[in-house]
Copies of this chain bind each other. A is one copy, B any other.
Amino acid sequence: MSADKTNEQPLAEAIVKQMIERDHFSRWLGIEVVEIAPRRSTCRITIRAEMVNGFGVCHGGVTYSLADSALAFACNTHGRVTMAIENNIGYPAGVAVGDILTAVAVEDSATNRLGFYSVKVTNQGGIVVAMFRGTVYRTHIEHTTNQ
């Protein structure tokens, strides 16, 4: 089920649909896939009271998980099972309960085995709350979907 040009968008959607169904952690977090395109995804989350850290603000792991899920969806649209091997994240601004965060993941570059992605996370006011870069490893295993 490799991706040719005409098939790219439906393949991307079928793969991500299947991934999110199985992704219990993203579902617990309430991560919503807003948009999917080949090598690109947009995800959203609303910060709940149970997501705070010891200072009463959003735990950095929640913002990270949103970015990481957006990365996972974007980098698997290629059609091959692909996993993050190294990620980094900067936190320019705090996140509070009730904030709505949007993560946009885009592919900067890819080779046969590796992919390089950037993810920008903004809040409902358009303020950048996280900048993230992810490096992924592309296995030779093709996704199988019911598409």
Contact = CB atoms under 8 A, between A and B. Distances in A.
Contact of A25 (B18, B51, B109): B51
Interface residues of A, number: 57
Given A59-B68, A60-B68, A135-B135, A108 B91 contact: no
B64 A93 contact: no
Given A91-B86, A111-B92, A81 B62 contact: no
Nearest to A135: B86
A135 B91 CA distance: 10
Copies of chain A in the complex: 4
Q: Which of A53, A88, A137 has the most CB of B within 10 A?
A: A53
Nearest to A22: B54
Given A85-B90, A85-B135, A90-B133, 20 more contacts: A22-B54, A22-B56, A23-B54, A25-B50, A25-B51, A28-B50, A29-B61, A53-B72, A61-B61, A85-B86, A85-B114, A86-B88, A88-B89, A88-B133, A90-B116, A90-B135, A92-B109, A92-B114, A109-B131, A131-B133
Interface of A: 18-26, 28-29, 49-56, 59-62, 64-65, 68-69, 72-73, 76, 81, 83-93, 108-111, 113-114, 116, 118, 120, 127-128, 131, 133, 135, 137
Query: Closest 7 A-B residue pairs measured CB to CB?
Result: A61-B65, A19-B54, A92-B109, A88-B88, A25-B59, A23-B54, A109-B128
